[in-house]
């Protein structure tokens, strides 16, 4: 008998069964299933229990610091400085009316300030500070002597009180990094009408308080006229005595006052505005 021809589907089905048996013999089915990626399970987030804050106090192991208060490393925000007293408002000075002091006026003011400083005694530290245009009409910044700041003033920014001879107080901001007075110094300068050539004596009566003594580079017009009149009278008397021949051998006039320690006449500095009018 002639066997009927197998169809394509029958051959295909037979081949698939043979392949399946071979795969089972080689355990390929189990291996393929083990390689399949399993879906990951969603993990539940665990609730964290708040721990009690750990004390940052170091352990006291030394007897030298056992009785001292513990050191705190907690960060505390720094509060801004509060200025006491009334709030002042000032207008900008007219720079055309600046007063420029002469060398004689500066020397005269510094000499008087040195005398005043020596009369204060050594109970409190003090120093003399001559005024410049940048201190009184320009930038309104007052630099203090570096050795004095290093020896007596705080190492950090602090509000320092300036008390004048009348007992009036003004608050100023001391900048430790720049060794000078910034905020508040402008008001003190304007209130006391400081000009170029004046000399100030600063006496540190407290760690954050200065007693300020002001020595003017020039006095009022009346005082200047009086001094000039006295000088003219002395000159006239000298001329009269020279005419009478009352001159001693050493060149001095008998009976004349001793002018060796007297400073020359102090002349008011010419302002820029008056110079413009003269021209």
Q: Residue 105 sits in a domain of what CATH number? A: 2.40.330.10
In a domain, 267, yes or no: no
- The pLDDT score that the predictor gives to residue 210 is 92
What pLDDT is stored for residue 205 in this prediction?
Answer: 92
- Which residue stretches of the chain have pLDDT < 70? 1-5, 36-42, 49-63, 65-66, 73, 76-99, 139, 219-279
Residue 278 confidence (pLDDT): 41
- Per-residue model confidence as pLDDT tens digits over 211-259: 999 988 876 444 445 445 544 554 554 454 444 444 344 444 444 444 4
Asked if residue 175 is part of any domain, the answer here is yes
- Is 237 buried (19+), middle (13-18) or exposed (0-12) by CB count in 10 A? middle
- DSSP reduced 3-state for 108: helix
| Residue 266 resides in a domain | no
Q: How many CA atoms lie within 13 A of 65 on its CB side?
A: 9
Q: What is the DSSP letter of 224?
A: H
Establish if 50 belongs to a structural domain.
Answer: no
For the full predicted model, state whether its pTM sits above 0.75. Answer: no
- Assigned domain for 257 exists: no
Rounded CA-CA distance 206/201 in Å is: 15
Q: For residue 131, tell me if it sits in a domain.
A: yes
Domain membership flag for residue 113: yes
**108: domain range?**
95-215
State the pLDDT at residue 30. Answer: 74
Number of domains the chain contains: 1
pLDDT at residue 127 in the model? 92
Does residue 142 lie within any of the structural domains?
Answer: yes
């Amino acid at each position: 008998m002639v066997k009927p021809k197998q169809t394509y589907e029958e051959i295909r089905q037979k081949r698939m069964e043979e392949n399946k048996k071979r795969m089972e013999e080689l355990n390929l089915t189990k291996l393929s299933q083990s390689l399949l990626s399993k879906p990951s399970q969603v993990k539940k987030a665990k609730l964290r229990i708040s721990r009690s804050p750990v004390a940052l106090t170091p352990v006291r192991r030394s007897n030298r610091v056992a009785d001292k208060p513990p050191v705190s490393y907690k960060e505390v925000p720094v509060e801004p400085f509060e200025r006491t007293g009334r709030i002042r408002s000032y207008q900008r000075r007219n720079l055309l009316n600046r007063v420029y002091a002469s060398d004689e006026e500066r020397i005269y003011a510094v000499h008087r300030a040195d005398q005043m400083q020596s009369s204060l005694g050594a109970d409190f530290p003090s120093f003399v500070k001559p005024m410049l245009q940048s201190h009184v009409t320009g930038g309104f910044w007052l630099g203090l002597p570096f050795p004095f700041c290093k020896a007596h003033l705080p190492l950090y920014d602090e509000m320092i009180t300036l008390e004048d001879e009348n007992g009036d107080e003004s608050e100023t901001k001391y900048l430790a990094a720049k060794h000078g007075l910034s905020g508040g110094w402008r008001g003190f300068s304007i209130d006391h009408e400081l000009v170029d050539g004046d000399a100030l004596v600063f006496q540190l009566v407290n760690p954050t308080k200065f007693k300020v003594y002001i020595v003017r580079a020039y006095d009022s017009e009346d005082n200047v006229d009086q001094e000039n009149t006295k000088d003219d009278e002395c000159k006239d008397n000298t001329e009269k005595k020279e005419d009478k021949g009352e001159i001693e051998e050493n060149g001095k006039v008998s009976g004349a006052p001793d002018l060796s320690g007297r400073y020359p006449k102090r002349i008011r500095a010419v302002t820029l505005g008056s110079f413009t009018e003269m021209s």
